[in-house]
Structure 1
């Protein structure tokens, strides 16, 4: 582990992964399904929708599909799974509203208060594959006080493309080592380190729901390992 005081003095920008790290996508979708479509297994539906995420990204990153906003990719995945869950009858308005549940995700309980503390000392921004409109709506819904919303849309590249990580440093005219990537996903942090960023791992054992706990064991290479975002704020002296 790096000395936290020295680390806090070096880092100028905290760049946050959002889905799973800052907001509870699984729990939010389960609640939405319970309220609107109680006949559907919300846990299975949420995980099936999310399971389409990596293959959709791969199609764009390989060039098989042209540059596509995440809202559109979410809609494509939704169309693929509706029939499986007995929802093929939904009309266009219902499908559009359901797809925009990603704009209405709730933050983890620690997220808003921790971000409020952190922004007193650091510039805080998103670094998400979500598109700008999605992330802005989500911030308003969940009370997330970002200084800046950075998205794959800005760089026209999805993480883990180098352009996303180095792009943060370029936007703020600082060195990559002055940016800390904050995420609950080891692969995201590994890619960030590869491009010179500092990294903080956030434990989110219930990202996929209580029935599917994640391994949140410390990973070699990260500068910080934190229980949640309030722990991150404490470790950085915010």
Structure 2
């Protein structure tokens, strides 16, 4: 088979693809659980429960017709729900503690190959975010982790959460290119499936540890993507960067 044409820009999913949310949120949650005297709660299970509401929150936004709110707001609602599931009343906790706990998603660590891989890819192609995160969250994360984006585009830019087609098509529009000239880089087959349906090129990056070794919830969406790599540095090799 002939190699696919090189895209004009790369757009990246962030949570799980670029940063290791589970390890980071587990670490942060362990500290906050200790601060409220609940070290008996498993921090990794808490992180999974917090993140586990994510897909339902995205679906709920679309089905309810709720006006768009940034991911920071949804993360806070999900945090409070996870606390209530463990018989902790969020109203009993200090507001600044809750706000800082919610900002754990601003302080996620990159995967070991991320910065080197992005830096190499950027030498040849523009690299931007195509994330459900809001700009403020993604900016704070990028500055802390040294992520060298050319542009930070959050869901608050498109006004839509993936897998809504508007999220993918608006990104291409903002970059002044056709959808087929934009490649989504993601560790999630469901995300890539939605991007392909919008005409984008696709690059899969395997992150087997995203869920602590547990199977990915969207594995059944797997297809043959234009590119498939085990790291961002391997993707850079594939794209001649």
TM above 0.5, yes or no, is yes
The CA distance in 2 between the partners of 1:167 and 1:83, in whole Å, is 37
1:101 is the counterpart of 2:101: no
CA distance in 2, matches of 1:62, 1:84: 24
- Which among 201, 205, 211 is matched to residue 202 of structure 1? 205
Superposed displacement of residue 213, structure 1: 4.6
Instruction: Give the gaps of 5 or more residues in structure 2.
Output: none
Matched ranges for 1:44-55 at <5 A: 44-55=45-56
* 1:202–1:229 Cα contact (<8 Å) kept: yes
Aligned to 2:240: 237
Change (3 A) 1:99 1:223: same
Aligned pair count reads: 233
- 1:23 equivalent in alignment to 2:9: no
Q: Deviations over 1:103-132 (max 9, x none)?
A: 001110111111011100000000000000
Q: 2:43 aligned with 1:42, yes or no?
A: yes
CA drift at 1:86: 5.7
Distance 1:195 1:64, change over 3 A: closer
Structure 1 outlier segments of 4+, above 6 Å: 215-218
In structure 1, what is the Cα distance between the partners aligned to 2:151 and 2:157?
Answer: 12
Q: Does 1:77 align with 2:78?
A: yes
Match of 1:116 in 2: 119
TM-score normalised by length of structure 1: 0.92
Provide the C-alpha distance between the structure 2 equivalents of 1:58 and 1:74, rounded to a whole number of angstroms: 14
Shift of 1:57: 1.2
Match of 2:130 in 1: 127
SS in 1 for 2:123: coil
Whether contact under 8 Å (2:189, 2:221) holds in the other structure is no
Partner of 2:192: 189
- 1:206 touches 1:213 (CA, 8 Å); kept in 2? no
What's the counterpart of residue 13 of structure 1? 9
Other structure's SS at 1:182 match: strand
2:67 matched residue in structure 1: 66
Q: Mark the CA change 1:195 to 1:43 in structure 2 (over 3 Å): closer, same or farther.
A: same
| 1: CA distance, partners of 2:50 / 2:18 | 19
**Structure 1: which 5+ residue stretches go unaligned?**
none
Q: How does 1:110-189 map to 2 (within 5 A)?
A: 110-189=113-192
More displaced, 48-57 or 119-128? 48-57
Give 3-state SS (helix, strand or coil) of 1:128's partner: coil
Shift of 1:64: 4.1
